[in-house]
Amino acid sequence: MADHVFEAPPAGANPDWTIPQGWDRYTPEEHATWDLLFERQSRLLPGRASEAFLKGLDVLRLERPGIPDFDELSDRLMGLTGWRVVAVPGLVPDDVFFDHMANRRFVAGNFIRRRDQLDYLQEPDVFHDVFGHVPLLADPVFADYLAAYGRGGQRALGLGAIKKLARLYWYTVEFGLVREAGGLRIFGAGIVSSAGESLFALDDPSPHRIRFDLRRVLRTEYRIDDYQPNYFVIDSYDELLRTTVKTDFAPIYAELADMSDIAPGAVVDGDELLTRGTGAYHAARQAAE
């Protein structure tokens, strides 16, 4: 992970941490890795992923072979929702991240995982960032939600509430489920870009699937090293946008300041459980450690 985590803009980066994508420098092996990942996920996702995500794959022409060119991708996105994709060398500081997002610039790593990392990579690469995140930026409502989240992040920095707000991002943008077409669909980038979690999130009996509640989410810790033991389910992207735009988060942060965090995998009073999980997957993992 250290290869792509920096404390200051590395050599060649702009003050806002952006860098050239360097599309011409990708090797045939790197393009082939993208194609392999794309083919695997695109076979899995029909009937599992949100319709807005699948539509975004189509309208942005992400099915074309090879790693997408960010300039071409941005031209198409700008015409749809005003977003652009900008390359960064890896994980960036919170203030940089929120500034880009609030101004409809989606930061994406320009490196791609190795073949021996197809199923797990701790830091986000170009496949996670572009395949996982960018299709929903073609949806006007979700695009507005992400920009609103960026503005909320800028405010949270001044309120010392980043840890809580990060949980909203995690349980929606990264690992969210949505009720759609008479069932559940996946939309979080961490799920749609993962072959294993694309199956686990919807089919496995282990995780709890809980109706989205803002306060509950802001209190809930998460796993970064394994499949999620809890998934939160929204009714629509309109609900997510409305909740974010019309809620004053400051009094909620104050209200939650003296309340204990909720552990990943826990069920608490007030949860609306759509599926009560068995917890078997994570119990077996823990027993094996």
Binding residues for Fe cation: 128, 133, 174
Distance CA 261, CA 215 (A): 11
E runs forming strands in 147-288 = 177-180, 183-186, 208-211, 230-234, 273-275
Contacts for 74 with CB less than 8 Å, ≥ 6 apart: 83, 84, 85, 86
Output the six-digit token pair for 213.
Answer: 């509640």
- 44, 197, 37: which is closest to 114 by C-alpha? 37
CA–CA distance, 161 with 218 (Å, rounded to integer): 10
Q: Is the CB of residue 176 less than 8 Å from the CB of residue 114?
A: no
Sequence-distant (≥ 6) Cβ neighbours of residue 226 within 8 angstroms: 282, 285
Report the Cα 142 to chain-centroid distance in Å. 12
- Which 3 state secondary structure label does DSSP give 188? coil
Strand 208-211 to strand 273-275: parallel, antiparallel, or no bridges (unpaired)? antiparallel
Q: CA 60, 122, 213, 276 torsion: positive or negative?
A: positive
Residue ranges of the binding site:
128, 133, 174
- Residues of 192-223 as b/e, b for ≥16 C-beta within 10 angstroms? bbbeebbebbbebebbbbbebeeebbbbbebe
The answer to whether 33 and 190 have CB atoms below 8 angstroms apart is: no
What does the buried/exposed string (b/e) look like for 252-268 if buried means 16 or more CB atoms within 10 Å of the residue's CB? Answer: ebeeeeeeeebebbeee
